[in-house]
Structure 1
Amino acid sequence: MPSIVVTAPPTDDPDWQVTAGPAFFEIEECYVHEKPWQCPLRKHGFWHHLEIKLSTFVRQVVEGGVVVHRPTEQIHMSGCSWSEVWSSPHHLAVAARFGEDEREGRQRQARENLEWRARKSPEANRILVKEWQENLPEGTWQALHSAVVEWIRAETEKEPSFRPHWVAWNWACGVPVCVDGRPYGVIHPDPSKVDWKLLTRMVIFVASDTARQTLLRSAPEGTRVVALLP
């Protein structure tokens, strides 16, 4: 059991006070950072000491109103670090949800930073495309690549060429395909990043009909989205 700190009452007061050990979690708006990229969530979560009567604390422990919490990282409160605290299931759930939101916010910010750098850096561009293409099941990318070659040969009687080094942002992390040196289509673009103004008149090649339907939900009328694998 994690320890608690209690303060003895005056001689005429029967109640001891718990001054450290129990804690509650609170979310506060961010008033420190000026730029959105400095604080993606625009809020912060903090643990605070909860001071309660010892008798109240003991009753809540017995009734399950407070439980032991052992976080993966130490909790910092009032200049001290705690590896274990007592808290309510409600506050633990709030802290867990905020931690997940915070992780997602950091990942989203890292992705946006990478996308920004990809506009100027060939290496960042390569990483962005590679990471998105690798979300396909093993072997699918090569099969899709071969299927695109055959489809374009049959459609145009010409040999396609691929431009994976072109700026990922413009092609929604898909790989551009050219015919006669001019953009013809895009392989496996990220639906969340597609700007259809940039992909006007492009043929979109995807692996499955599920991916095709996802893109067609936002695509302008007449857009050709071709699913090439069973």
Structure 2
Amino acid sequence: MTTLDIVIADDEPLARSRLRRLLSGHADLRLTGEAACAAELRAMVIQRAPHLVILDIDMPGEDGLSAAHWLAEMPAPPAVIFVTAHPQFALDAFSAQAAGYLLKPVERDRLLAAIEAARKPTRASASALQSAIEPPRVSVSAGRRARLLPAEDIVAFRAEDKGVTVFARDGQYFVDESLKNLAQRFEPAGFLRVHRAWLVALGRIRALERDAVGRHWIEIAGLPETVPVSRRQLAELHARLRR
């Protein structure tokens, strides 16, 4: 069996020690590093390219969910298994494409089962398979609750300084993801990135306009503002609309 290189990220030394003990004694599991914060994790992942990251959610500074979204954008992302004392983050973990979600104190059998589930299929093939089977969804916060918003309820996404605004049929939401990551998941479901800051649902476009200086804009049903179209995306937009 292929040996998995693993990195643990948890700000609690005792939690890291427990995970280290649970992984010991398995020749196919190799612990290659431990991080106490997201910044240490980022540097370690770039340097050591692990197959799997066991990641705490509640850490000082950048939390584990944000770090997981960053990991998911890597060309060959490691699998991520979350370990946390907070069950309410399960939906958010799903949006970060987690391979597993374990509650502390972590039990050996559950950890080993999650690791085996992360082995096959790979993260890349699992993501592609999920996109082919069911429409993508994004986890958003509604008060104290998290809900999964399906593609058919989304009008557009707009990139912000730190995250993305989701324009939905029933309102606006903010998610801590990148527009690049969302485009990878939603473009197969009928969305197109028409501008560096905009990802829109093609089925909701009502008009394509050109202004006096040659800039193009689209009007989208359910969106209170027009959306700019970059020159490099204009030809692709025309082609997709003709279909």
Q: TM-score, normalised by structure 2?
A: 0.26
Structure with more of its chain in strand, by fraction: 2
Rg larger in structure? 1
Q: TM-score, normalised by structure 1?
A: 0.27
